[in-house]
Amino acid sequence: MFTNTLIGAVAVAAVNVAAQGTSATTPAVPTGTPIPGDYTGPLRPQVHFSPPQGFMNDPNGMFKDANGTWHMYYQYNPTGIVAGNQHWGHATSEDLYHWENQAIALYPPEEGQYVFSGSAVIDVNNTSGFFPDQDNGVVAITTIAHGGSGPQTQDIAYSRDGGYTFEWYANNPVIDSTSSQFRDPKVIWYEDHWVAVIAYSQEFVVGIFTSPDLKSWTWASNFTRHGLLGTQYECPNLVKMPVRDRDSGDLLEETYVLALSVQPGAPLGGSITEYFVGDFNGTHFAPSDATTRLTDFAKDNYAAQYFYGTAEGENPVNLGWASNWQYAQQVPTGNSEGWRSAMTLPRANYLTYAPRIGLTMVNEIYDMSPVLEDGDALAEQTMGNGSVVVDYSDVASGAVFVDVTVTGINTTLVSSFTTLNLTLSAPASGEALQSGFYFGGDTPFFVNRGLLRGFDNIFFTDKFSIADVYSSDSSALASWSMQAVVDRSIFEVFVDRGTHAGTVLFYPTQPLSQLTVASRDLPEGAQVSVSVRALKSAWAEYEDESGVVAGNVTETIAKRHMAYEAAF
């Protein structure tokens, strides 16, 4: 264990401080100084990214480089456990689970400024002119907040070492503004030009801009007042997405998704992400309908960003910020473990035609094999009505993956008691995280975190649910599935092959260590396949002899990389 010298006595007092960047004090940021991370705390996720210490929020600047390395930056206050003093932290991964903490990548250009959310691209063709003799130049496009309530401008920085260190462009801003509510540029390449989507947050407008060179930008169109407004638009993402056949996975067509984060004022309270499906012609996004769709049925997935640079035709991959501004700055990990916020699991997305509701974004957990424990599963069982109980208290990570598939469901014979439940519990304290599906009636899937006692907060809603139309034919033999990852203080569940996703923070006073999958009143002929796998800690292998995982350092990259290569 290490002494938490950096965080020190930063107390968590403020309830509902402004969402971004209004830190009252700016302690010295540890330029070039390693930030020690203790990833062993009982609430610290083991297969999710979280910063070594301090406060994290939105994922930023994410891209996959030509070597296959995933780069993730993130809104980071390295000197506190609430938002403020915003920098871009940085981490890299070969597999999206094992993350190497890198040096802080973007510092404010001047005192009193904050580096807010933004994106990054690889300027392969040197459109910017920053990279005369290389094809792996990285340009970050981000919002600079000129003080907590000053103007927000769009600025760029370039990296000639593949994204590890950046120089601010001399002629910033590239998009000037007098507005204090103009932020979160996300840039993609469209045929022959760059496209940025930027939120005019409190006007409920997504501005679409184009550029030949990432330096000079031209306003092209606005996407205005769509969907749920909350009281601010943030973090727009425009992404090309395949539409796939629900059963075969075959590509049917490609279309665009405009994802938009809304905060505060979401229906579930606080922050949420919605998305719109439509056509994009290089300058204008035209939604194919007026439907408002949500990415998540719970309330702990915000500001997800898609990686730039994944291969054409592949399902785009995102990470979201697994929290909610209503309590992100109050969750107990800050005081007990010196960090706050993790990213979601990496998710690959495509669209499909779900029964009844039509075009819907499917979430697939990105290949988890790098963190699946070798050897036998904790459980691998097929049953009709019955239950599987797994004591996983000796899984070192405390993290497990649960995969349940129910087949041969005669939907005309399901009753209002036909259920499949997954319950995680802490036998010592009696706490439990409940989830389950009712196959009859309104077919709700639910999650209840109200039986855990580690966090008391007026906005920490206990129960979430979504109706899943799992079969389009009432007489068919239907199938239904759920996949879930439980990781100390994060529960992520993917219902009906990812048709619905739920991201749920939970805070037990004792570690959850027992798992029950139980089916009840299934019609004859239905079969339940249950697979429970232990997950390996993605962090344990980076610990030094004293158990510390360093952050804010790059000098160990080569060493770590060799260790990583040796491990697989």
Question: Which residues are identified as catalytic?
Answer: 58
Interface positions, 205-224, toward its own copies (CB under 8 A): 224
| 85, 153, 461, 499: residue in contact with its own copies (rule CB under 8 A) | 461
Nearer Cβ to its own copies, position 101 or 448? 448
Taking the complex as a whole, the smallest distance from the CB of residue 90 to its own copies amounts, in Å, to 28
Q: Tokens 């309830």 appear where?
A: 15
Nearer Cβ to its own copies, position 224 or 281? 224
Given a contact cutoff of 8 angstroms between Cβ atoms, the answer to whether 64 and 307 are in contact is: yes
Query: Should residue 11 be labelled a site residue for its own copies when binding is judged by CB under 8 A?
Result: no
Q: How far apart are CA 84 and CA 26, in angstroms?
A: 8
Taking the complex as a whole, the smallest distance from the CB of residue 80 to its own copies amounts, in Å, to 15
Nearer Cβ to its own copies, position 357 or 396? 357
Taking the complex as a whole, the smallest distance from the CB of residue 551 to its own copies amounts, in Å, to 28
Taking the complex as a whole, the smallest distance from the CB of residue 195 to its own copies amounts, in Å, to 21
Given a contact cutoff of 8 angstroms between Cβ atoms, the answer to whether 272 and 230 are in contact is: yes
Tokens of 359: 């075009």
| 150, 173, 264, 384: residue in contact with its own copies (rule CB under 8 A) | 264
Tokens of 549: 């995982």
Largest Cα–Cα distance in the chain?
A: 71
Query: Should residue 286 be labelled a site residue for its own copies when binding is judged by CB under 8 A?
Result: no
Nearer Cβ to its own copies, position 34 or 444? 444
* Half-sphere exposure of residue 535: CA atoms within 13 angstroms, side-chain side: 25
Query: Should residue 19 be labelled a site residue for its own copies when binding is judged by CB under 8 A?
Result: yes
Nearer Cβ to its own copies, position 289 or 314? 289
Encode 295-307: b = buried (16+ Cβ within 10 Å), e = exposed: bbbbbbbbbbbbb
Phi, psi of 381 (to 5 degrees): -150, 150
Q: How far apart are CA 454 and CA 34, in angstroms?
A: 31
Q: Is 178 exposed, middle or buried (0-12, 13-18, 19+ CB in 10 A)?
A: exposed
Strand intervals (E) in 4-48: 35-37
What is the C-alpha radius of gyration for the chain, rounded to an integer number of angstroms?
Answer: 23
| 148, 265, 384, 511: residue in contact with its own copies (rule CB under 8 A) | 265
Q: How far apart are CA 420 and CA 517, in angstroms?
A: 7
Question: How many residues sit in the footprint of its own copies (CB under 8 A)?
Answer: 62
Taking the complex as a whole, the smallest distance from the CB of residue 255 to its own copies amounts, in Å, to 15
Taking the complex as a whole, the smallest distance from the CB of residue 338 to its own copies amounts, in Å, to 22
* Half-sphere exposure of residue 96: CA atoms within 13 angstroms, side-chain side: 23
Binding piece for its own copies, criterion CB under 8 A, among 16-24, 35-43, 162-170, 368-376: 16-24
Query: Should residue 141 be labelled a site residue for its own copies when binding is judged by CB under 8 A?
Result: no
| 94, 146, 165, 228: residue in contact with its own copies (rule CB under 8 A) | 228
| 135, 462, 544, 555: residue in contact with its own copies (rule CB under 8 A) | 462
Query: Should residue 358 be labelled a site residue for its own copies when binding is judged by CB under 8 A?
Result: yes
Query: Should residue 353 be labelled a site residue for its own copies when binding is judged by CB under 8 A?
Result: no
Q: How far apart are CA 46 and CA 488, in angstroms?
A: 8
Query: Should residue 31 be labelled a site residue for its own copies when binding is judged by CB under 8 A?
Result: no
Encode 79-113: b = buried (16+ Cβ within 10 Å), e = exposed: bbbbbbbbbbbbbbbbbbbbbbbbbbbbbbeeeeb
Given a contact cutoff of 8 angstroms between Cβ atoms, the answer to whether 330 and 270 are in contact is: no
Given a contact cutoff of 8 angstroms between Cβ atoms, the answer to whether 529 and 382 are in contact is: yes
Nearer Cβ to its own copies, position 323 or 552? 323
Phi, psi of 558 (to 5 degrees): -60, -45
| 279, 391, 442, 555: residue in contact with its own copies (rule CB under 8 A) | 442
Of 169, 183, 173, 104, residue with least CA distance to 139: 169
Tokens of 324: 């909610």
Distance from chain centroid for Cα 188: 19
Query: Should residue 16 be labelled a site residue for its own copies when binding is judged by CB under 8 A?
Result: yes
Query: Should residue 443 be labelled a site residue for its own copies when binding is judged by CB under 8 A?
Result: yes
Residues near 533 by Cβ (< 8 Å), separated by ≥ 6? Answer: 372, 373, 377, 378, 400, 401, 402, 403
Query: Should residue 384 be labelled a site residue for its own copies when binding is judged by CB under 8 A?
Result: no
Binding piece for its own copies, criterion CB under 8 A, among 23-31, 134-142, 228-236, 398-406: 228-236
Measured from the Cβ of residue 217, the count of other Cβ atoms closer than 10 Å reads 25
Binding piece for its own copies, criterion CB under 8 A, among 160-168, 291-299, 362-370, 380-388: 291-299
Query: Should residue 229 be labelled a site residue for its own copies when binding is judged by CB under 8 A?
Result: yes
Query: Should residue 279 be labelled a site residue for its own copies when binding is judged by CB under 8 A?
Result: no
Of 232, 226, 214, residue with least CA distance to 258: 226
Taking the complex as a whole, the smallest distance from the CB of residue 419 to its own copies amounts, in Å, to 9
Taking the complex as a whole, the smallest distance from the CB of residue 291 to its own copies amounts, in Å, to 5
Q: How far apart are CA 110 and CA 8, in angstroms?
A: 25
Taking the complex as a whole, the smallest distance from the CB of residue 13 to its own copies amounts, in Å, to 8
Binding piece for its own copies, criterion CB under 8 A, among 35-43, 311-319, 376-384, 464-472: 464-472
| 27, 173, 269, 386: residue in contact with its own copies (rule CB under 8 A) | 269
| 231, 281, 382, 393: residue in contact with its own copies (rule CB under 8 A) | 231
Which residues make up the interface to its own copies (CB under 8 A)?
14-19, 202, 204, 224-231, 263-270, 272, 287, 289-294, 297, 325-326, 356-358, 416-417, 434, 436, 438, 440-444, 446, 448, 450, 458-467, 469
